[in-house]
Structure 1
Amino acid sequence: MKKLHLAATTALILAPLAASAETLSLYNWGDYINPAVLEAFTEETGIEVTLDSYGSNEEMLAKIQAGATGYDIVFPSVHMHDIMFQLGLLAKTHIGKAPGFENIDPQFVRAKTDPDAEYCLPYAWGNVGIVYNKALAGDIKSWADFFALGAEGKKITLLDDLRETIGIGLIVNGNSVNSTDPDEVEAAADYIIDHIAGVTAFTYDSVPQVISGDVAAAHWYVGANLYVSENPDTIGYIIPEEGATMYQEDICVLESAPNKEAAQKFLEFYLKPEIAAMNVEQQMNGTPNKPAQALIPEAIAANETIYPSQDVMDKLQIFEDLGRDLQLYNSEWTRIKTAQ
């Protein structure tokens, strides 16, 4: 009996140590997950989570391709999901067959290389529009209004992202953001260059400047609604009338992940409606998890810049992998940057 008692006591002591030794390393866009989600995951599983951030798909891919090790999970946009699959960087998870995957709206299984969600889990979606200072910008409604501010001598900023920024020109000109027509891509870049006088920076760090009034308006993500909710009298967010881009990120496990079992647990954990809803409450973007939508606060669910009407959704375009044709955009991006 004494030996059994000792063994049981040892097991009790070692169990928490074993749990705390298991870790999970996320590599995600800056501030793109509610810390409460990670805390809940650790509380449920005992797995400690570390988080590093990146500013663009290209930055993340370059780091992984350069041999960065230790990361388990990344959050690529759909077109980057396709690219990473083709490069052999993603691990098969069979998440599409996991209990709870029926919660995912099928329209968000978008990656062309992963039609059955054998690799990645749809994570979040949203749009990229304009966050503006109400006193400086007034009641703006369009990309034309946005660039008119710059023409008036007021400061505006654009995202430091070649697809997003050239995408504005393509949208305004009535073309696809996935165009591979050299004339269309050149014309889109011309549109940006023709309106570049008021652009003070290509940056992701615009919102504090809009709040302070240093910048009148900025090209930014729907997550700006988080700041709008905190500063409703100062700033606003719109989806421009001409249309905008739509983004979607997926949760993918890297083939090089050192903690694949922990990564699999995280994907399955994120299938829970209450967890997806917890993330939306802080992130203020769309979730592919259908039951989660009933758990989202009314102020978010009723916000038409977060959950747009169908006619607005029809004006939102999502990026696709352009393969070698991306060089068209690289060349025009260099021209835009040197024109500033």
Structure 2
Amino acid sequence: MAHAPLVTAEVRQTPAPPNAGAAKGGSRAPLPAPLKLKTCTLPTGLVVSCPTTRDEVMTVYQENFVDRQYCQHGVDLAAGDTVLDVGANSGMFALCAAEAVGAAGRVLALEPAPLAAAACADNAARHAAWLAARGGGAAAAARVETIQAAVGDGSAAQLTLVVYDAVSTLSTLAPDHAAAETALQSFVETQIRNGTPVGSRVQRALIRAGSAFARFPPTAPLVRAAARAAVRRVLASRREVEVAVVTVSGLLRERGVQSVGLLKIDVERAELDVLRGVSAEDWPRIEQVAAEVHEALLAPVVDLLKGPAGFGRVVAVPVDAALIGPGMHMVYATRRGGAA
């Protein structure tokens, strides 16, 4: 399998194959060159690049630096660990992991979407410089290596990635337009009911207004219709790009990784393919897995982790629908702490 490109802060995009052709759905409009990124400031004071909106980055920051979404139920990071961040997006988990594992550790961040990969690489450089300026120096965190590639089961070296320019975290190799629309609709309606909006300033203002109108029966249907229209506008931002695909086992060989402290997965309905890309002889080298898993894939993911992967402890926890929509679970698997 072709060696995936290492992305630097300057960003080298993976070239599309010669027969990429026209898109089957959505558009295949080229990205502007050079890639342009917005910035925002995290609560820590670190200025980071955003592939879409500040609010999307802040939501992912909250999940990783505050809630520690991937380090729960016996899964944790130790100094010197190597971490594979599959579906790194703008790199918030990768930066958090880099601080946790320290200079003796290593973080490989894999992200196929060009703009998100650019943000991840830029944020890794910003994070290192920020730590150095604060006196942390090289000993404060591991170096984050950003690789612009998807991770799959080894059946293809190139695949079509569906990218949503309005919401970068929805990018997927396994698009399901109806499921995405249902999940987003439920997410928005939950925000309206609870009065806890996220998104752009305009989106937050609309949700707050909708929350008030939704409590008034005559206007409730109008609020739901407006929510549906907003969701469809988000989904209309989709386009397709051809991306390189690697496997976990291939990556271990190519990058000389002997052991993995944590395999983190967030790949929007392609999580089973990532796990199937680990060969039987490599599973003992992977000590922990933390994955966001869709409902339809939960049973086969858990079965694989308990069976071929050989994890003694596997925990599946439903995710609050108000956070990322219905039918989502976090799955944690570990061999540490006596869990064979």
Bigger radius of gyration: 1
Structure of greater relative contact order (alpha carbons < 8 Å, 6+ residues apart): 1
TM (normalized to structure 2)? 0.25
Give the alignment's TM-score, normalised by structure 1.
0.25
